[in-house]
Each structure stands twice: as structure tokens, then as C-alpha cells.
Amino acid sequence: MATFSAFNLSSKLVAALDKLGYHEPSPVQSNVIPKALQGQSLICQSETGSGKTHAYLIPILQKIDPNLPRLQDLVICPSRELARQVYEFAKPFERFFPHLKIRLFTSEAEKTQNSEGLSQAPQLVIGTPGRLKDLLIDDYALDLHNLRTLVLDEADMLMDLGYFNDIDTIYSKLSSEPQVMVFSATLTPGLKEKLHRYIKSDFLYESEQHMTAAGVSHHLVDIKHVGALEALKSFLRIRNPYLVLVFASRKEDVNKIYEGLKEEKWSVVSFSGDLEQRERRKTIRLIKENRYQVIVASDLLSRGIDIEDVTDVVSIDLPNDQEFYFHRAGRTGRFGKKGDSWVFYNADTVARPQELLKAGVPFDFYTLKGDKLEIDPVGLLPKKKLSKKKAFPEEELRDVKIAKANSRVKRVKPAYKKKMRWAVEKVKNKYRHKAIERSIRKRKSDAYKAQARQVKDSSKE
């Protein structure tokens, strides 16, 4: 079993990691930390929940000089929530390194508050692009000339939110080329082009499965024509999850679902862009204290926020951008745990689930009927229609002829044609079920073969 001591870290840092509950590295940390310790600039693409934050924090803490009171390392995050989360991961290490100073710069505090106490410069700064530009470039609050490490965390989100102009401004003021580490859940051609200015990619780490963590199971749930709120209530009664994140694409739907669950006395909280910053911080704190069973959220909460022990994620609809589904699903199954992602759909909303199926998401299928969640063996998989009579398999054609013959009458009676159609349909249904069973057996066989190949490949390694 690998341990952090295998990276030749200082005994003080290894002891700090152990006391803070970090005993063994995740796969992404095992691959990235050795390269980062060598000073290599790198790009890391890995699924959410894989331990990316400590993959850069640990090398920074190993190389930082706590006795040198100047800015040495800078971490840029795309949102206040993500920046605070990284800060809360890093802050406890100050207890083990007496002269280490870590600061958080975001718009959740006034700029004057951010500027306070900078007479002794922090060695590590974590913040959002706009506030960092205000303080470091416009106000010259800290000297950037000796920066050793620049980290761009959740780089795909930095690009989506249009923050690269601010990052360009910050980067242009650096007098020397620092080590640049980029971490992202996705890595599109457009993002690669953006990153080329900062990094030549000495090292690129891509996890084998970067859509979501391997521990996440994906399920499509046909809710028929029941409303999303009523379907969710039935689902929660059936599933009774330990902690569930419910996502809706529109803030109106977030509010509607929250109010509907609150009326029925569920332990529920909502999180959307309507919240003031103080409310956001309070809500995240209460969530992390396990005060609620159900969290109803917009996609604001789907990017990078670590909430422990989320067992289930429910999408009552799917976002326009396919990538956001993976960020939603990635809120569960983190750090090697198991989790389930459930997507509601009906006959009118099959297009986006079909796109995810085409993208390779390994969905299985369920139908929600009243207070039962039943396995659907076919779901959105292509259903084979019975051929015309001339193309019937010989056995099926024979059975259809027999059914017709048995249903004929010598004298015409009322509804005799309907009875004949029923007899023929009964035969057809029998062969439909056989076709479905063959399809299911083939899917299982293909899955077993794929699993066997993975085992065989891993044994070779």
C-alpha cells in the first residue's frame, strides 16, 4: 500500500498529513505529486472527487519556505465557494508550520478587508481572478516577482466564466516563469489553446475514466407523465437516501421543488444563485455539518464543491451542456466511495438522455410507478419492431398461422376479427419478449467480456 512518505516528503509534512486524516495517496496524487515535486509544469485532467486539490497542495507545502515572508505560490479558482474550499483544505497546515501564512482573497469580503494584515506577506494565496487582479495588479498589495508556483484550478470553469483576461493580466506581471500546474475535469481543444500561453505541458495526466469517478452508477428513470416534484417525492420515499443532491437547471424549479419538499417536512435546503454571499456561506457550512438529508441546487453547486457522504444525485432534468451532467454526477462516488446518479425523463424529454447514451454513459433503466421503482430491461435502447409477415422467422410465421387458424369460426360471430387480432398479438408478444431477453443476455455478455479484458490488462501491468 502506497503512503505519502514514499514521495520523500519532509517528516513534518507526512506527520501533518497523517494527523489531518490523509494516510495514502489517490491515483491522481500518485501520478502528479512526483512530477510536481520536480518542479515540472503540468496539466492534470481527472474526474471530480479524485483528490486533485492535494495533488498540488502537497508539493506546494513541501517546497514552500515558511521563514521567507513573501508571496511564493498562487492558486486561482473560478468561484468564491471553490476558493474557500481550497483555503479550508490548506489552512489547517498552518498549525504544523508556525511561520506559514495562507490568505484567501475573494469578493465574499470587502477589498479593504482583504488588504488588511499584508504588511507581512503570506507565502500562499488562494483566490478568484477578479479579486486577485484588483489586489495584486491594480493595488500592488503584494510583490509577484518571486512567485514560484501558479495553479489554475478547475481550468475549464475558468474558461467558461470568461476569467482568462484577468489571468492573462496577472501572468503578464510575473518577472520569471513559475511552475504552472493546471487541473481540470475536462480538457477541450479550446482550453488547450488558452493554456498554451502559460504552459508547454511537460507532463499531462489523464485518468482512464474522466467523465465521473468509477464508483458512480448511472440510472435513467422513466417518470411517465408524473410531475417532477411528485416523482421526486415518490423516489425519496422509496429510496430514503442518506444524503441526496437534487439538481434542476432553472432557479424557478429549484425554488418550486424546495418549497414542495419543505411543505411535507423533509429535511431540505436549497442552494442557487439567488442566495446572498452570507447565506451561501452559512448554507454550505450547515450542509457540511450534515444538517440536511436533501439539498436542492442549481448547477452552481455541481462544480468542485466537496460535500462528504453524498449517496445519491438526482437530476430532475438535464442541462444544455452535456459536461454539466458529469459535474453533477461527480458530487457522489468521491474518493473511492460508491454513489448513484439518477436522471428523470419521460417520453417528451428523451433527446438529452439519448445524447448521454451515445457519449458512452453506462446507464441502466428504471420506471417509477406509484411507490415502486422497477427495473426496465429496455429503457431507451433501440426496440426492434416485428417485421412484416413475409420476413417473419419460419417458427414465428408458423405460430401466427396456427393462432389465426385456431381463432377462425365456422359462423361469423360478433368481434371475431378482434379475437383473431388478439390471438396473433399474443404470439407476437411472445417473440418480442424473446428478442428482449436475447438483447439483455448480449448486453450482459459484452459487459462481462469488457470486465475480463480490463482485469487481464491490469494483470499485465
User: pLDDT by residue (tens digit) across 155-178?
Assistant: 988 988 889 999 999 998 887 789
pLDDT at 458: 64
Segment 298-348, tens digit of pLDDT: 877 666 567 778 899 999 999 888 878 888 888 888 766 789 999 999 988
Query: What residues contact 70, with CB distance under 8 A and at least 6 apart?
Result: 121, 123, 143, 146
Domain range enclosing 61: 4-206
Q: In what order do the strands lie in the sheet with 102-105?
A: 102-105, 124-127, 73-76, 149-153, 179-184, 42-45, 203-206
- Same domain for 85 and 189: yes
Q: Give 322-390 as a DSSP string.
A: HHHHHHHHTTSSGGG--EEEEEEE-TTS-HHHHHHHHTT--EEEEEEETTEEEE-SSTTSPPPPPPPGG
User: Mean of the pLDDT values across residues 351-366?
Assistant: 88
Indicate the pLDDT class of residue 212, thresholds 50, 70 and 90: low
* Local structure of residue 299 (DSSP, 8 states): G
| Domain's final residue, options 172, 206, 240 | 206
Cβ atoms of residues 152 and 126 within 8 Å: no
Indicate the pLDDT class of residue 358, thresholds 50, 70 and 90: confident
| Domain's final residue, options 206, 235, 251 | 206
> Is 25 within the bounds of a domain?
yes
Q: Over 60: is that where the pLDDT of 389 sits?
A: no
Instruction: Report the alpha-carbon distance of residue 364 to residue 219 in Å, rounded.
Output: 5
- Same domain for 243 and 194: no
Number of domains in the chain: 3
Question: Cell triple for residue 309?
Answer: 457522504
> Is 383 within the bounds of a domain?
no
Question: Cell triple for residue 281?
Answer: 456561506
Of 165, 173, 186, nearest to 48 (Cα)?
186
- Same domain for 251 and 312: yes
Range with the poorest average pLDDT among 147-151, 194-198, 380-384: 380-384
- Same domain for 295 and 441: no
User: Mean of the pLDDT values across residues 72-97?
Assistant: 93
Indicate the pLDDT class of residue 197, thresholds 50, 70 and 90: confident
Q: Which of 203-217, 304-318, 423-437 has the highest mean pLDDT?
A: 304-318
- Same domain for 220 and 134: no
Alpha helices in 20-176 (DSSP H): 27-37, 52-63, 80-90, 111-115, 129-132, 155-160, 164-172
- Same domain for 17 and 136: yes
**159 beta partners:** none
- Same domain for 326 and 233: yes
Query: What residues contact 330, with CB distance under 8 A and at least 6 apart?
Result: 47, 48, 49, 185, 212, 213, 216, 302
> Is 178 within the bounds of a domain?
yes
Residues in the chain: 461
> Could you give the count of Cα atoms lying within 13 Å of 294 in the half-sphere of its Cβ?
24
> Is 380 within the bounds of a domain?
no
276 or 455, which is more confident = 276
pLDDT at 450: 73
> Is 245 within the bounds of a domain?
yes
Segment 57-71, tens digit of pLDDT: 999 999 999 999 899
User: Mean of the pLDDT values across residues 187-193?
Assistant: 82
Indicate the pLDDT class of residue 387, thresholds 50, 70 and 90: very low
Cβ atoms of residues 153 and 53 within 8 Å: yes
- Same domain for 167 and 31: yes
> Is 381 within the bounds of a domain?
no
> Is 211 within the bounds of a domain?
no
**368 beta partners:** 373
Angle between helices 351-358 and 322-329 (to 10 degrees): 80
Query: What residues contact 28, with CB distance under 8 A and at least 6 apart?
Result: 44, 46, 50, 51, 52, 55, 205, 207
Which value, in Å, is the radius of gyration of the alpha carbons in the chain?
28
Q: Which amino acid is at 125?
A: V
pLDDT at 390: 44
- Same domain for 228 and 198: no
Question: Cell triple for residue 216?
Answer: 458512480
287 or 263, which is more confident = 263
> Is 26 within the bounds of a domain?
yes
Instruction: Report the alpha-carbon distance of residue 313 to residue 184 in Å, rounded.
Output: 21
* Local structure of residue 229 (DSSP, 8 states): H
pTM of the model: 0.63
Instruction: Report the alpha-carbon distance of residue 170 to residue 151 in Å, rounded.
Output: 12
417 or 338, which is more confident = 338
Q: Over 80: is that where the pLDDT of 242 sits?
A: yes
- Same domain for 183 and 35: yes
Handedness of CA 31, 185, 299, 80 (dihedral sign): positive
Question: Cell triple for residue 18?
Answer: 497523517
| Domain's final residue, options 206, 239, 267 | 206
Of 159, 83, 156, 162, nearest to 124 (Cα)?
83
- Same domain for 280 and 306: yes
Cβ atoms of residues 299 and 319 within 8 Å: yes
User: Mean of the pLDDT values across residues 252-261?
Assistant: 92
- Same domain for 114 and 15: yes
Residue 290 maps to which CATH number?
3.40.50.300
